[in-house]
Structure 1
Amino acid sequence: MDAANLEFIIQMLEQDTDLKEKIKDQVTEFDKKTRTMAGLLNKIHSTPTAQLPPLLDSVQPILASCTDITAVIAQLVPANQFWRWKDMWCNSLRSAVFSATLIEYLRSGTLLTLPQVGGILGIHPEWADRFTLAAEDYLHGLISLVNELSRLAVNSVTLGNYEEPLRISAFVKDLFAGFAMLNLKNDLLRRRYDSLKYDIKKIEEVVYDVSLRKLAPTPAK
C-alpha cells in the first residue's frame, strides 16, 4: 500500500470518527428528551383524568423541541447514508414515537399515523436518504404504546376511572388487528408483536372484572 493510498484511508477513517461523534452528541440530547418525556408521562398512572391535560401540556414543549435535534442529525448525515447510521438513533426515535402516540391517545383516543408522527418530530420527506422515520421504528413505538396502555388499564381502575379499560381494550384490539395483517419477519419486531397477546389478555381481565362488578356502563350494541 503506497503512502498516498494510506493517507487517503486515514483521512476517511478520521472523517467517519468525527461524524460519528457529532451524531452521538445529538443522540445523547435526544435520549435526554425522550427520558424526560417518559418520566413525566409515567405520572398518568397516578393522575386523575381531569388532571391529565396540564400534565400532557407540560410534555408537549419537550416533544416539540425534538425537531431541533432531528434537523441537526439530518444535516450531519451524508446523502444516501441513512441505513449506515440509523442504528445510532433508532432507540431514541422509537421512544419519541411512543411519547407522541401516547399523548395523542390520551387527548383524543386516536392513533397517529406514521406521517403524522414524522411531522410532529419535524422529519421532512426530502430527508429520506439521510434521516427518516422507518416503518420498523414506528411499529416499535406502537408496541411500547400498547405496553403502557395495559398498565394504564389496571391503574385507571385504581383511580376510579372504570370506563378507561373499555376504551383501551377497543383501541388496542383494533391496533393488534392491524399488526396481524403485516408480514413481520422472525426478528425483534416479530417477538415484540407476539408479546402483545399478553398485554391484551391483561387488559381483557381488567375489562372482565369491571364488567362483572358492573362498575362501567355496558357498551351500546
Structure 2
Amino acid sequence: MDSDNVDRINQLLEQDVELREKIKDQVAEFDKKTRTMSGILNRIHSTPSDGLPALLTSVQPVLDSCKDVTASLAAIIPPNQFWRWKEMWSISLRNAVFSAALIHYLQHGTLLSLSEATDILGIKSEWQDRFSLPIEDYLHGLITLVNELSRLAVNSVTLGNFEQPIKISVFVKDLFAGFSMLNLKNDTLRRRYDSLKYDLKKIEEVVYDVSLRKLAPSAKAENPAPMVE
C-alpha cells in the first residue's frame, strides 16, 4: 500500500470519527429531550383528568423542540448515508414517537399516524436519504404507547376515573387488531408485538372489574371520546 493511499484512508477515517462525534452530540440532545418528555408524561398516572390539559401543555414545547434536533441531524448526515448511521438515533426517535403518540391520544382519543408523527418531529421528505422515520421505529413507538396505556388503565381507577380504562380498552384492541394484520419480519418488533397480548389482558381485567362493580356506564363503547377536552 503506497503512502498516498494510506494518507487517503487515514483522512477518510478521521472524517468518519468527526462525523460520528457530531452525531453523538445531537443524539445526546435528542435523548435529553425524550427523557424530559417521559418524566413529565409519567405524571399522568397521578394526575386527575381535569389536570391533564395543563400537564400536556407543559410538555408540548419540549416535543416541538425535537424539530431542531432532527433538522441538525439531517444537516450533518451526508447524502445516501441514512442507513449507515440510523442506529445511533433510532432509540431516541422511537421514544419521541411514543411521547408524541401518547400526547395525541390523550388529547384526541385517536392513533397518531405515521405521517402525523413525521410532521410533528419536523422530518421532511427531502431528507429521505439522510434522516427519516422508518416504519419499524414508528411501530416500536406505538408498542411503547400500549405499554404505557396498560399502566394508565390501572392507575386511572385509583384516581376514580372508571371510564378511562374502557376507552383505553377499545383503542388498544383496535390497535392490536391492526398489528395482527402486519407481516412483521423484524425479530425484535415481532417479539414486542407478541408481548402486547399481556398488556391487553391487563387492561381487560381492569375493565372486567370496573364493569362487574358497575362503576362505569358501559364497557361496550365503540367510539371513545378524547380524554382531554
- The answer to whether TM tops 0.5 is yes
Alignment match, 2:106: 106
Which SS does the other structure have where 1:160 is aligned?
Answer: coil
Q: Which residue of 1 aligns with 2:28?
A: 28
After TM superposition, list the pairs within 5 Å mapping 1:11-22 onto structure 2: 11-22=11-22
* Structure 2 Cα separation of the partners of residues 199 and 139 of structure 1: 16
Letter in 2 for 1:83: W
Say yes or no: does 1:170 pair with 2:170: yes
- AA aligned to 1:89 is W
Task: Give the deviation of 1:124 after TM superposition.
Answer: 0.2
Aligned counterpart, 1:96:
96
Q: CA RMSD in A?
A: 0.9
- Cα distance per residue 1:88-115 (max 9 Å; x no partner): 0000000000000000100010111011
Q: Which residue matches 2:138?
A: 138
Deviation at 1:185, TM superposition (A): 1.6
Letter in 1 for 2:93: L
Partners of 2:71 and 2:197 in 1: how far apart? Answer: 37
Write the letter of the residue equivalent to 1:168: I
Q: Which residue of 2 aligns with 1:147?
A: 147
Is 1:212 equivalent to 2:219 in the alignment?
no
- Which amino acid in structure 2 is aligned with residue 198 of structure 1? Y
Residue aligned with 1:129, SS: coil
Long gaps (5+) in structure 1: none
Q: List per-residue Cα deviations over 1:197-219 (Å, max 9, x = no partner).
A: 00000000000000000000023
Alignment of 1:178-193 (within 5 A): 178-185=178-185, 187-193=187-193
What are the Cα deviations for residues 104-141 of structure 1, in whole angstroms up to 9, with x where unaligned?
10001011101100100000011011000000000000
Closer, same or farther in 2 for the Cα pair 1:86/1:220, shift >3 Å?
closer
Could you tell which deviates more after superposition, 178-187 or 133-142? 178-187
Q: What SS does the aligned partner of 1:183 have?
A: coil
Greater alpha carbon shift after TM alignment, 22-31 vs 181-190:
181-190
For 1:157, the equivalent position in structure 2 comes to: 157
Change (3 A) 1:107 1:213: same
Change (3 A) 1:29 1:220: closer
Could you tell me which residue of structure 2 aligns to residue 202 of structure 1?
Answer: 202
CA distance in 1, matches of 2:41, 2:191: 25
Aligned equivalents of 1:115, 1:48: Cα separation in 2: 31
For the pair 1:118 / 2:118, whether they are aligned, the reply is yes
Please say if residues 146 and 199 of structure 2, whose CA atoms lie closer than 8 Å, have aligned partners that are also in contact: yes
Instruction: Give the match for residue 52 of structure 1.
Output: 52
Maintained 8 Å contact 2:162/2:210: yes
Whole-angstrom CA distance in 1 between matches of 2:97 and 2:71? 16
